[in-house]
Amino acid sequence: MNDFSKKLIIISNRLPFVLERVENQWKIIPGSGGLVTALAPVLRNRGGLWIGWPGTTIQSDISKPLEAISAQAGFSMQPVFLNDEEIQQYYMGLSNEVIWPLFHDLQSYCNFNPDYWEMYKKINSRFASAIKDKSSGDDFIWVHDYHLMGVAEELRRLGIDTKIGYFQHIPFPPLDIFIKLPWRAEILRFLLQYDLVGFQTVRDRRNFIQCLKAFVPKIAVKGKGQVLSVRFAERNIRVGSFPISIDYKEFSQQAGSKEVADNAWYIHEDIPNGKIILGIDRLDYTKGIIYRLRSFRTFLERHPELHRRVTLVQVVVPSRRSIPMYNELKVEIERLVSEINGQFTKSGWVPIHYIYRTLTRVELLAYYRTAEIALITPLKDGMNLVAKEYCASNIEQSGVLILSEFAGAAAQLQKGAIMVNPYNIEEVAEAIHKAFHMSLKERNQAMRKLQQIISKTDIYWWVNSYLKAAISSDLETFPRMEEYYTKDSLSSLSIFP
Ligand code: GDG
């Protein structure tokens, strides 16, 4: 018999949507980050609960819009409210001006403001209280990402001794970089209060273990393989690597739909000159957009014979605009795009098509399906789901993936992708040239390999391997509630616009 009393509780900084107050009405904007893409299909229709900030600092009754979103998404949602100052210091500050740059090896971008740290701890306690109120002993509490590293310690203080898992979506830095963090010992102590600490790659896990050995006295690490065991202060903590993924089937099926095919056809009709190279990123300095544009310029300088035969479509999705550095990045991207277009445009051909907005799901899939080359060159990335989504949606199996060595996805996809160092402008320019000239047979072979790897290790594989390591059980422990699983709700389940 199904046990519906057991819940999977996901906790992340944000709920999988943003609420905005427009003319006295709540406007619901679906979330579009990697975490949402990965977790929404897993939680759906299992009686699960997602706890997070609803994206608004207006604190009023939002139960009506929440009910509507929950019914559509197939899981319940519990808001944790934050005011402007809290968002400024905990989210923009400690999370995104300290941990985010430092953990992506960009220490010179950090602002180590002590007020941020105090606010971070305060908000982590608030999340812990919300979890305590909503959970029972049988639930599995699964905390996501660097905004909430301190939640387990607070839960332990509140007397919760059930299993608590943590998964870090961003990289964990090497010791030489982590050591700069003023609150390094506290962060390690926080993470040791979880029962399972998951990272994207073996490299991240190795970095974490190295930091533990350097800062935590009397720590013992045992084991081999995907999950290691750490003994500390009478507790056993498991530490593993779990490369996150996507709902492969859903992407490939939707990419094969008529709506997407029609959209893809229009994209190519509008860009008739040869091959499309695609870049899709949130506005972020870690995604390597500036280096990518410079590489494309070098490619155009070196290969005038390919002018008019390639077009770069660069989509930048607005993100974290209230942090000044992000705004400066946008200005720099736009300056460089217009400089390159100014230099190379010829009648009937503009080398870079620049899009600054969130694409609809259909548009996104149409670009994935139709682009001959995906140029994914982050300077550092936890995983990079765009790389996996591109391959899953490439149903003609003729696309080429150019991928940064520093994306977490590189560990799994290096055999089928053209690998590049994103800082090496000449190497990336030559990779574009190579991708352009690959034969159909070579492209088919490489793409098939990539698709095999991604479909085998899809999002369900990921969640099951995490849950097995955390609670010796899998997603079936939280069975689907078929009564809610109607055809109508299925067709409207997409949480994307
Ligand atoms: C963090 C880590 C890790 C993008 N543009 C549009 C859109 N997207 C969706 C993509 C994809 C997601 O956003 C981006 O995921 P990434 O993995 O590339 O990057 P982050 O947001 O930085 O995610 C990352 C991830 O967490 C998961 O662990 O891989 O390393 O940084 O799913 O499809 N979706 C729509 N329109 C867009 O224009 N609808």
CA–centroid distance, 76 to ligand 1, in Å, is: 23
Cα–Cα distance between 42 and 102 in angstroms, integer?
30
Nearest to 90 by CA among 115, 120, 67, 111: 120
| Per-residue pLDDT reduced to its tens digit, 80-89 | 999 999 999 9
Nearest-CA residue for ligand 1 atom 12 is 34
Nearest-CA residue for ligand 1 atom 28 is 169
Helix (H, G, I), strand (E, B) or coil at 445: helix
Average pLDDT estimate for 430-441: 98
DSSP 292-330: HHHHHHHHHHH-GGGTTTEEEEEEEE---TTSHHHHHHH
DSSP 93-108: IIIIIIIHHHHTT-GG
Residue written as tokens 């217009």?
338
CA–centroid distance, 234 to ligand 1, in Å, is: 38
pTM: 0.93
Nearest-CA residue for ligand 1 atom 33 is 386
Average pLDDT estimate for 55-60: 83
Ligand 1 atom at shortest distance from the alpha carbon of 358? 38
Q: How confident is the prediction for the chain on average, in pLDDT? A: 91
CA–centroid distance, 93 to ligand 1, in Å, is: 21
Strand 235-241 versus strand 275-282 pairing type:
unpaired
Nearest to 39 by CA among 205, 191, 165, 192: 165
CA–centroid distance, 217 to ligand 1, in Å, is: 37
Q: Which of 385, 388, 391, 393 to mutate to test the pocket of ligand 1 (most atoms within 8 A of CB)?
A: 385
Q: Which of 148, 282, 361 to mutate to test the pocket of ligand 1 (most atoms within 8 A of CB)?
A: 282
Q: Above 80 in pLDDT, residue 275? A: yes
Alpha-helix runs per DSSP H in 79-145: 84-86, 100-103, 114-134
User: Which of 219-223, 433-437, 482-486 is the least confident region?
Assistant: 482-486
User: Which of 146-160, 168-182, 297-311, 469-483 is the least confident region?
Assistant: 469-483
- Quick one: pLDDT band at residue 492, thresholds 50, 70, 90? very low
Nearest-CA residue for ligand 1 atom 20 is 34
The amino acid at residue 238 is R
Name all domains of the chain by residue range, CATH numbers in brackets. 8-244+458-492 (3.40.50.2000), 249-456 (3.40.50.2000)
- Quick one: pLDDT band at residue 91, thresholds 50, 70, 90? very high
Rounded to 10°, the helix 248-255/385-393 angle is 50
CA–centroid distance, 216 to ligand 1, in Å, is: 34
Ligand 1 atom at shortest distance from the alpha carbon of 359? 38
Ligand 1 atom at shortest distance from the alpha carbon of 361? 39
Whether the CB-CB separation of 134 and 82 falls below 8 Å is answered with no
Q: Above 70 in pLDDT, residue 325? A: yes
Nearest to 389 by CA among 443, 449, 444, 451: 451
Residues with CB under 6 A from ligand 1: 32-35, 37-38, 169-170, 244, 280, 282, 315, 317, 358-359, 361, 364, 381-386, 389, 496
Element of type H or E holding 45? none
CB proximity list for 206: less than 8 A, separation 6 or greater:
none
Nearest-CA residue for ligand 1 atom 14 is 34
CA–centroid distance, 169 to ligand 1, in Å, is: 11
- Quick one: pLDDT band at residue 115, thresholds 50, 70, 90? very high
Ligand 1 atom at shortest distance from the alpha carbon of 200? 28
Nearest-CA residue for ligand 1 atom 23 is 34
Sheet holding 275-282, edge to edge: 352-356, 310-317, 275-282, 373-376, 400-404, 418-420
Whether the CB-CB separation of 369 and 255 falls below 8 Å is answered with yes
Tokens of 34: 């990697």
Nearest to 82 by CA among 147, 143, 163, 153: 147
Ligand 1 atom at shortest distance from the alpha carbon of 496? 39
- Quick one: pLDDT band at residue 442, thresholds 50, 70, 90? very high
Nearest-CA residue for ligand 1 atom 15 is 34
Ligand 1 atom at shortest distance from the alpha carbon of 357? 38
Looking at residue 57, its pLDDT comes to 86
Q: Which of 29, 32, 326 to mutate to test the pocket of ligand 1 (most atoms within 8 A of CB)?
A: 32
CA–centroid distance, 385 to ligand 1, in Å, is: 6
DSSP secondary structure letter of residue 196: E
Q: Which of 106, 386, 412 to mutate to test the pocket of ligand 1 (most atoms within 8 A of CB)?
A: 386
Element of type H or E holding 283? none
| Per-residue pLDDT reduced to its tens digit, 337-383 | 999 999 999 998 999 999 999 999 999 999 999 999 999 999 999 99
Whether the CB-CB separation of 10 and 142 falls below 8 Å is answered with yes
Q: Which of 263, 283, 319, 384 to mutate to test the pocket of ligand 1 (most atoms within 8 A of CB)?
A: 384
Ligand 1 atom at shortest distance from the alpha carbon of 244? 28
% residues pLDDT > 90 (the chain): 76
DSSP 211-278: HHHHHSTT-EEE--SSEEEEEETTEEEEEEE------HHHHHHHHTSHHHHHHHHHHHHHS-SSEEEE
Cα–Cα distance between 272 and 311 in angstroms, integer?
9
Ligand 1 atom at shortest distance from the alpha carbon of 386? 18
Q: Above 70 in pLDDT, residue 189? A: yes
Whether the CB-CB separation of 334 and 342 falls below 8 Å is answered with no
Nearest to 308 by CA among 332, 339, 277, 272: 272
- Quick one: pLDDT band at residue 32, thresholds 50, 70, 90? low
